[in-house]
Amino acid sequence: MPPAHPPPCGVAPAAAATCPLFLLPRRSRSLRLRLRRLALPAPRAATHAHDAVLLRRAADAADRSAGLTSPHPNFGCVIARPQLETDNAEAWVVGEGFLYAQGTPCAELLAAQEAGEHARGATAYLNLEPGDCYGDSTAVSTLVQAGITRVVVGLRHPLKHLRGKAIQSLRNEGIQVDVVGEDLHSKLFKEALESCLIVNAPLLYRAAFRVPFSVLKYAMTADAEQKYPTMLYWKLAGKIAASSGHASWVSGKSSRGRVFELRGRSDAIIVGGNTVRLDDPRLTARHVKGHVPVRIVMSQSLNLPEEANLWNVHDAYTIVATQRGARRDLQKKLALKGVEVVEFDMLNPRDVMSYCYDRGYLSVLWECGGTLAASAISASVIHKVYAFLAPKIIGGVNAPTPVGELGMNQMTQAIDLIDVSYEQIDRDMLMSGFIQPIPDLSPVIPSVDEIPSVDPEVSPYETNIISFYKTWDTFGAFSNFSPHPIHMPDENGDYFTWPTVEHYYQAHKFIGVDDPQAREIVQEIKLAKSPEEAARIGRTRQREFQELVCLNVLVTSIFACYSRK
Ligand SMILES: NC(=O)C1=CN([C@@H]2O[C@H](COP(=O)(O)OP(=O)(O)OC[C@H]3O[C@@H](n4cnc5c(N)ncnc54)[C@H](OP(=O)(O)O)[C@@H]3O)[C@@H](O)[C@H]2O)C=CC1
Ligand SMILES: Nc1c(N[C@@H]2O[C@H](COP(=O)(O)O)[C@@H](O)[C@H]2O)[nH]c(=O)[nH]c1=O
């Protein structure tokens, strides 16, 4: 439900309208003043407490696209103006918006459209400084044109080439910009700031550590083991499967539904070879028709079955990461099924994460067993843990536990999770917490550092190679997903304004194919709300209707890029 629009602040309430001050005799000055106080009190000003509530609401709005589209920086905007009638900041909101996907209308535009005239003189709350990459300054120009007079920003943009730009542009336009921690100092902002950090944790981790944000998730029983047989000392030692390796299911249905949501928020899901052998998982976010993450199997031995659910790439794309030279026969068979096999000189979690970073992933979910989990934790690539605790006991000395050997022998060495939260999900308990704090906004990333070198021998400073995996990268304007429309012929040869090169590219997988199904898919892609959606439709339909795919796609895409520039 969109919020009701209260009257703009400063509009005289009914009492004043029925008794205009100029009608009062000059002598009754005290009455005049008293009435003025009653009728036209000074507009209520937002206090830090109000600002904090509204900033948090902007962060909550930013989170609303999660799971619907591929992970991207989350932007939310709340426009509010103090009302005389109420001190409740939530009731001051006149407009609200969030970025649905890269290339769709920005949060500021949606909020300003909803606020209409009420935006004039109001304050806009932004969880994250707008990133006006590719020269698109819609967010800033919208706020200026809407007549916003003050902007409260939760976080500056973490990428150096975007950081501070929008804030400066707004200030140049005479708008008061208050950045939390710089212009606004109060303990009251603690929670709001945390929400701003959490909603963009993937972007912040990626920017600071040059790896995707990694979440380890597991479901364990409430088993306990007697640590010292002579003493009555029991220690929780939850199992993630029975001794046989059977694991379906540890957690309840609602918890597993929550896991589907987590999958939808991730770019990739990682498991180890043993989990594939024992569970034959699907690893899809099948509860909603939303974002479909890539599935990654890490297997050194490549001793994997020839038939497995993960090799069905109609469901989702699969990558097998393995050791160089491992079972080339199976590699070929997997490639024929459409599975991508990537060889590493030394397969390990850190190199796989660097690889995911280079592919542009923001967020990765580890759904592996304890052996690989321990290896990933030891390599410091896990940032957050989701532990589902089920009220079940299975026993078994050899039943696997969530985290294998970490080489610690003193409890003082234990990793203390931070910002821990607990939630009951039906009969299960979900405990989540961070292993590494969300990086503050110190990361200032030299633009040249954002240029990965294809040849690891050549330093980024020496190479002329540029990359543009994400639209917000330094050279993001070159990305197919960059929100630059192109005017190019459609399936009938008529010129059509394609919202992005990605729309054009995906549609051309099916253009030129004389089949009603292919034509329907082209229409579907043309109407896609964002390049991400166009990509999702194109990729899914390509898997479903392989026989309809036209072979000229690559040439088309390159041609489209040139015509756009
Ligand atoms: N309840 C739950 O939440 C979950 C339970 N499980 C259960 O856990 C059990 C499997 O556990 P586990 O064997 O630990 O899990 P995994 O299979 O997820 O991880 C171990 C495997 O990962 C591969 N691997 C690749 N690189 C490395 C590396 N650097 N370090 C370690 N492993 C690497 C190896 O595959 P390879 O041998 O092919 O070379 C290795 O055997 C199953 O019973 C499964 O049902 C699994 C996931 C979640
Ligand atoms: N057993 C278990 C989990 N196991 C994880 O889920 C995978 C199966 O996914 P799918 O095939 O898509 O249903 C499995 O291989 C393992 O990674 N997860 C949970 O939330 N709760 C559970 O009890």
What is the pLDDT at residue 562? 45
Q: Nearest to residue 265, comparing CAs of 290, 282, 235?
A: 290
272 lines ligand 1 (CB under 6 A): yes
Handedness of CA 10, 15, 19, 21 (dihedral sign): negative
pLDDT on residue 110: 97
Strands 213-220 and 363-366: parallel
Find the 281 Cα to ligand 2 centroid distance in Å: 7
CA distances from 460 to 102, 209, 262, 453 (A): 27, 17, 34, 5
- Is the distance from the beta carbon of residue 300 to the nearest atom of ligand 1 less than 6 Å? yes
Annotation marks residue 108 as catalytic: yes
DSSP for residue 472: T
> Which one of 298, 299, 381 would you pick to mutate in the ligand 1 pocket, going by the greatest count of ligand atoms within 8 A of its CB?
298
Residue partners of 490: CB distance under 8 A and separation at least 6: 496, 498, 507, 511, 522, 526
407: left (phi over 0), alpha (psi -120 to 50) or beta: left
Burial zone of 101 (CB within 10 Å; 0-12 exposed, 13-18 middle, 19+ buried): buried
Closest residue by Cα to residue 147 from 173, 110, 178, 119: 119
Torsion of CA 42, 47, 53, 55, to 10 degrees: 100
By residue count, the chain amounts to 565
* CATH 3.40.430.10 for domain 210-405+415-434: yes
| Residues of the chain with confidence (pLDDT) below 50 | 1-29, 31-42, 442-462, 554-555, 558-565
Say what the pLDDT of residue 386 is.
Answer: 98
Q: Tell me the per-residue pLDDT of 303-350, one tens digit each, with 9 for 90 and over.
A: 999 999 999 998 899 999 999 999 999 999 999 999 999 999 999 999
Q: Write down the pLDDT at residue 345.
A: 95
pLDDT, position 104: 86
Separation in Å, CA 303 to CA 97, 317, 342, 520: 49, 20, 15, 42
What residues have CB less than 8 Å from 435, skipping those under 6 apart? 377, 382, 383, 384, 385, 415, 417, 418
Ligand 2 site, residue 310, Cβ cutoff 6 A: no
Domain 44-203 class, CATH top level: alpha beta
The answer to whether 332 touches 182, Cβ cutoff 8 Å, is no
Q: Which of 108, 114, 367, 532 is catalytic?
A: 108
Q: Is ipTM strictly over 0.95?
A: yes
Question: Is 299 near ligand 1, meaning CB less than 6 Å away?
Answer: yes
Compute the distance between CA of residue 366 and CA of residue 486 in angstroms, rounded to an integer.
38
In 3-state terms, what secondary structure has residue 180?
strand
Domains 44-203 and 210-405+415-434 share a fold: no
| Closest CA to ligand 2's atom 3 | 219
Q: Give the DSSP letter of residue 388.
A: E
Q: Ligand 2 atom 15: the closest Cα is on which residue? A: 281
User: Shortest CA distance to 235 belongs to which of 358, 414, 37?
Assistant: 414
Exposure string over 196-209, b if 16+ CB within 10 A, otherwise e: bbbbbbbbbbbbbb
Domain regions of the chain by residue span: 44-203, 210-405+415-434, 476-548
Provide the token pair at 427: 């009969």
Report the nearest atom of ligand 2 relative to the CA of 276. 15
